[in-house]
């Protein structure tokens, strides 16, 4: 796999000739429309799937780093590249041959959150790259009852037909609103309500043929931290003897004493003990009401992982991967809202408005600016390079895998990069 950044004057056919692959393959792999083929955007990425694996040297590369990235030994990499006369001084832009041993990629687990209205076409293209399909969501009531999510049955069946484990997602989202601290408190502070919720979760998983449950309780009162831990412990003891697994979703913390209602009740160390997996929501640095920036800046994600692996067994961690970007009005005015945009939609917008795409080396993410009448805009999103940068953290930190929020929008380059770097574990 190679990731190519489009330059001024490039055409699909010139790029295809450069890499000795067919233009049709590049078009099909990246799912480019006719308009996209004829109007490449300067700065957009294209994933080139090569017959023989190669790596183009970038600034900072060493043979050791490249060997680690492709899971090959340094000696095998050296043997495959006799043209390298000075291994300590690689030439930027030179092509390194990756030996066949690199096909023995590491196996990781991949979770994808989806809403029940996901397109069947998108789902069918995504399921081969998933270990778990987490269907969002069962909402809890104060007494521990759950709302009725009738339209999850088909998704459960499709998941299992494709060897993907369906996961029940339970949230403290208030009906018709958002995550509610008070709702969670009403459940957690009552032993009767807790027991009722646990029974309802177990019954639903048994009746609907779920593989396990993901508890996504957010914005908990800090004083409910121990109550939440006790609930997770009781839930684990109830469901694991029945063959179900427990996953929890937590906010992206960088220390145990991090302040804020989003963070304080999420006890990383405890979740690491009681849960089979811990999904860390490493996104939303750039969010609807923030100033413009990357949704998941690589340095920020790295800070979270630096702390997380000291508290949670690394193999239990599924690193969060956003599958969207935002379009902000600039200059930014506090309180104004950005518009969500898909990664593919961002490139299409840049094409439509005639913008070049830039890449932030500090955020490790692409962005561009454009104008509408009387208004400037700034768009941040993900491309193949930003995805690859963060996916490399899975190897760097020996993580269990990744979790996507959400898979409802199909971004072909993400799955090309993911499957080039890792094998996806299947459990059913």
Given 2, 218, 363, 378, which residue is catalytic?
A: 218
> Which residue from 109, 128, 164 is spatially nearest to 317, judged by alpha carbons?
109
Q: Find out whether 57 and 94 touch, Cβ atoms under 8 Å.
A: yes
Which residues, at least 6 apart from 5, have a Cβ–Cβ distance to it below 8 Å? 43, 44, 45, 359, 385
Tabulate helix, strand, coil % of the chain (nearest 5). Answer: 40, 20, 40
* Top-confidence residue, 210 or 76: 210
Flag whether pLDDT at 393 surpasses 50: yes
Flag whether pLDDT at 129 surpasses 80: yes
Q: For 43-89, how does the pLDDT look when each residue is reduced to its tens digit (9 = 90+)?
A: 999 999 976 678 899 988 998 888 888 777 787 788 778 788 787 88
Distance CA 402, CA 277 (A): 10
Q: According to the model, what pLDDT value does residue 133 have?
A: 98
Q: For 212-245, how does the pLDDT look when each residue is reduced to its tens digit (9 = 90+)?
A: 999 999 999 999 999 999 999 999 999 999 999 9
* Top-confidence residue, 150 or 139: 139
Alpha-carbon distance values, 197 to 136, 144, 148, 172, 253 (Å): 17, 4, 13, 12, 27
CATH 3.10.350.10 domain span(s) along the chain: 2-103
Q: For 333-343, how does the pLDDT look when each residue is reduced to its tens digit (9 = 90+)?
A: 999 999 999 99
- What mean pLDDT is reported for the chain? 95
Q: For 321-377, how does the pLDDT look when each residue is reduced to its tens digit (9 = 90+)?
A: 999 999 999 999 999 999 999 999 999 999 999 999 999 999 999 999 999 999 999
Flag whether pLDDT at 100 surpasses 90: no
Task: Enumerate the β-bridge partners of residue 401.
Answer: 109, 318
Annotated catalytic, 139? no
Beta strands 54-56 and 2-5: pairing type?
A: unpaired
Task: Enumerate the β-bridge partners of residue 375.
Answer: 372
Instruction: Return the CATH fold of 107-323+387-424.
Output: TIM Barrel (3.20.20)
Structural tokens at position 207: 């009746």
CATH H-level superfamily of 2-103: LysM domain (3.10.350.10)
Q: For 274-324, how does the pLDDT look when each residue is reduced to its tens digit (9 = 90+)?
A: 999 999 999 999 999 999 999 999 999 999 999 999 999 999 999 999 999
Question: Percentage of the chain with pLDDT > 70?
Answer: 98
Q: What average pLDDT does range 168-184 have in this prediction?
A: 97
Q: According to the model, what pLDDT value does residue 362 have?
A: 98
Q: According to the model, what pLDDT value does residue 107 have?
A: 96
Say if domain 330-378 classifies as CATH 3.10.50.10: yes
Total count of residues recorded for the chain: 428
Which residues, at least 6 apart from 406, have a Cβ–Cβ distance to it below 8 Å? 112, 113, 114, 115, 136, 323
Residue 36 — very low, low, confident or very high, per pLDDT cuts 50/70/90?
Answer: very high
Q: According to the model, what pLDDT value does residue 64 have?
A: 87
CATH 3.10.50.10 domain span(s) along the chain: 330-378
Matching residue, tokens 């930027």:
92
CATH 3.20.20.80 domain span(s) along the chain: 107-323+387-424
Q: According to the model, what pLDDT value does residue 102 have?
A: 47
* Top-confidence residue, 155 or 99: 155
């Amino acid at each position: 796999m190679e990731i190519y950044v489009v330059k001024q004057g490039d055409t699909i056919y010139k790029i295809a000739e450069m890499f000795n692959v067919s233009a049709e393959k590049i078009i099909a792999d990246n799912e480019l429309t006719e308009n996209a083929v004829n109007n490449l955007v300067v700065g957009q990425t294209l994933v080139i799937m090569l017959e023989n694996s190669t790596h183009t040297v970038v600034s900072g590369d060493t043979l050791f780093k490249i060997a680690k990235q492709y899971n090959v030994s340094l000696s095998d990499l050296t043997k495959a590249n006799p043209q390298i006369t000075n291994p300590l001084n690689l030439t930027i832009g030179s092509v390194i041959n990756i030996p066949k041993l690199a096909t023995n990629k590491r196996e990781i687990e991949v979770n994808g959150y989806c809403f029940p209205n996901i397109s069947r076409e998108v789902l069918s293209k995504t399921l081969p790259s998933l270990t778990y399909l987490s269907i969002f969501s069962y909402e809890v009531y104060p007494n521990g009852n759950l709302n009725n999510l009738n339209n999850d049955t088909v998704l459960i069946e499709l998941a299992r037909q494709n060897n993907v484990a369906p996961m029940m997602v339970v949230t403290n989202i208030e009906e018709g609103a958002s995550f509610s601290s008070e709702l969670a408190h009403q459940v957690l502070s009552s032993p009767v309500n807790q027991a009722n919720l646990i029974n309802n979760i177990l019954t639903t998983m048994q009746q609907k043929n779920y593989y396990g449950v993901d508890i996504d309780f957010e914005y908990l009162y800090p004083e409910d931290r121990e109550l939440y831990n006790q609930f997770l412990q009781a839930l684990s003891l109830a469901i694991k003897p029945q063959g179900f697994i427990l996953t929890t979703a937590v906010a992206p913390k960088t220390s145990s004493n991090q302040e804020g209602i989003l963070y304080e009740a999420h006890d990383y160390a405890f979740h690491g003990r009681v849960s089979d997996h811990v999904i860390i929501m490493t996104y939303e640095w750039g969010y609807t009401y923030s100033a413009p920036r990357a949704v998941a800046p690589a340095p920020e994600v790295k800070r979270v992982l630096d702390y997380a692996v000291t508290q949670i067994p690394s193999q239990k961690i599924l690193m969060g991967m956003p599958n969207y970007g935002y379009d902000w009005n600039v200059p930014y005015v506090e309180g104004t809202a950005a518009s969500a945009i898909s990664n593919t939609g961002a490139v299409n917008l840049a094409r439509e408005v005639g913008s070049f795409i830039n890449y932030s080396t500090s955020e490790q993410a692409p962005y561009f600016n454009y104008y509408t009448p009387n208004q400037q805009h700034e768009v941040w999103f993900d491309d193949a390079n930003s995805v690859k940068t963060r996916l490399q953290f899975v190897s760097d930190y020996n993580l269990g895998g990744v979790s996507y929020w959400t898979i409802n929008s199909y971004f072909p380059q993400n799955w090309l990069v993911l499957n080039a770097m890792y094998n996806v574990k299947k459990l059913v």
